[in-house]
Structure 1
């Protein structure tokens, strides 16, 4: 397998894991926690490294998970005091913990691979170099095995606790009443987010972890209201961002991590603009339809009011609508065309006349 393909696989699995757990943060409107956790687990990683002396030790994941839970607990404790809001609590806790981690690394581990730049930015281009070997046989990149295992844990967790996660995400009070222990589930999820964050450090860095945890699920949320579909779309968008970012980086001779972040942003922007129900284009078209419908109703009521009156010859003309209803020419034409399309009026030159259907609709509009 070529290094390029291995890099793509590593990045795709990493993005899939980030997007899967990130979807629950987005659904819980706790997206800022991804930023907090991805930075605040650094002191846990640093302390575990000082104890074990091994960057590949699984105790780093355990320490990161514990630190992530501590981070969430501190944020929630500050929030419960009601002296600061949730976003302010996040802004107080995670910079403090992250700075402690940076200080520990700069003072005690300045001569090892664990440095602040690597944690922040990562370097996917070199993720394939460290190999996983058993009995002298090369089984592929170690990062792929790590992230594959973490992704598998995420899948098992979501599959086993899907019902509980779904209920506690949308109605924690009901989940507690039914005995689902939403608080314990919340902290288990935060621990899993911490594990995913630290597992992705060497591959993509904490900055890109945030992008991959938030952008794909946010894009998916614009496209569906079903949680199961949202999870699938989140993972698919994460993988697409990773692979698309890799090829974008190759084409531009740019940073792979930066290109992946850019690709995830492009995915979100496309969904933000073109989502069928919530996208900007759909909203603009809906507003245009509403504007046309309202103008059509006003036109029908106006024609009904003047129908069979001495003023009808003058009032029921397209040219007179602009003066009487204070419409510009474009709005007058929009109302007329909409009414014609709905078979509510007939038009003879400049003269407008109601059809039976249009008369009924005008009468209904006046009652409403």
Structure 2
């Protein structure tokens, strides 16, 4: 198999595995929890190494996962103390544990150089090479990542109702006996295990990217949780393939190219998403502004209808002075109101139609 295709498949598995729990992190407003977990894994790995003194031991994975759960617990304790806000607690915990991990490596393990690029961006190209052994056979990381993806998919399917209810209405979930706190910590365990599996392959930067960006993009496109989960996984896979092939074509770092692909994908969705995208919101604001101007015109005409000033107040040539608009805006508003059937021209003036009067009554509450 082509090495680029093989690498893109590995990253696609990582992306899909992270996107599933990442969707719930985004919905629970805990997106940066993945950042904290991604940074504190080093702390757990170092502690596990001190215990087993074997860099190839699978206990290092358990230590990393445990450190992720520890970080979440510490954040919860600080937040519930009432002394520290959630975002500050997150920053305090992950900075402290990450620094502690780096310090332990620097002090206790001599002649070790921590490559910043490797720590932050990982080495996706090495994710295809076997690093673990089971029953005497080499186990490629992609098998572990595939198992994590299958486990996440199974858990989301089996506990979809519990996750959905505790995410959107934890009070109702508690009253029905679902125990939101248990579900929350179980989700954090899943996030930690997923982050551990992905950490070695893609580094903490892409771990955060795969957890957060696809889910955030999917959130802009749908209100249905099942569809959001599917879209998040799809977006992560697409970004993995696009970024990997772009890196090969440009001869640059794979992790960096995939991160850029994630950013470009989110920017495209943010711009073009129907209803929630920037373009759609701009069009909606323009329509609201135009509708408001037409309403002001109809209210102005209604207020002076049947009064001695009606002829002057409704004269098209001087209408802009009464409404304090520019002549160009006034002409455009009159043209739209005429097309929409709110007013008609009567010589040099304007007159409300029955539709226009009904609109004014609807807004002002008159009869």
* TM-score after normalising by structure 1: 0.90
Higher mean displacement: 41-50 or 77-86 = 41-50
Give CA-to-partner distance per residue, 1:34-92, whole Å, 9 cap, x none. Answer: 11111112111222234445555432332222111111111111111111111111111
Q: Alpha-carbon deviations, 1:154-178, whole Å to 9, x = none?
A: 1111111111111111222222222
Structure 2 distance, partners of 1:207, 1:146, is 20
Structure 1, gaps ≥5 residues long: none
Aligned match of 2:177:
179
Is the contact made by 1:319 and 1:350 (CA closer than 8 Å) also made in structure 2?
yes
- Separation of aligned partners in 2, 1:276 and 1:79: 37
CA 1:176–1:115: 2 relative to 1, 3 Å: farther
Write the distance in 1 (CA, Å) between the matches of 2:56 and 2:334: 71
User: Which residue of structure 2 aligns with residue 154 of structure 1?
Assistant: 152
Question: How far apart, CA to CA, are the structure 2 residues paired with 1:76 and 1:35?
Answer: 15
2:20 is matched with 20
**Distance change >3 Å, CA 349–CA 223, structure 1 → 2:** farther
Q: Aligned residue for 1:286?
A: 284
Measured after TM superposition, the shift of residue 348 of structure 1 is 6.3
Q: How far apart, in 1, do the equivalents of 2:317 and 2:53 lie?
A: 85
Question: Which residue of 2 is the match for residue 95 of structure 1?
Answer: 95
Q: Is the 8 A contact 2:69 2:188 kept in 1?
A: yes
Give the whole-Å Cα distance in 2 for the aligned partners of 1:350 and 1:30: 62
SS at match of 1:84: coil
CA distance in 2, matches of 1:61, 1:225: 36
Label 1:309 to 1:116 Cα distance change in 2 as closer, same or farther (>3 A): closer
1:118-133 aligned within 5 A: 118-130=118-130
**Map of 1:7 onto structure 2:** 7
Q: Is the 8 A contact 1:120 1:201 kept in 2?
A: no
The alignment partner of 1:95 has SS state of helix
1:5 Cα shift? 0.9
**CA spacing shift, 1:149–1:308, aligned 2, 3 Å:** same
TM-score, L = length of structure 2 = 0.91
Contact 1:102 1:116 in 2 (8 A): no
- Pick closer, same or farther for the CA change 1:96–1:326 going to 2, 3 Å: same
Q: How many residues align?
A: 366
RMSD, matched Cα: 2.6
C-alpha deviation, 1:364, in angstroms:
3.4
- Asked if the contact 2:129/2:141 (under 8 Å) is kept, the reply is no
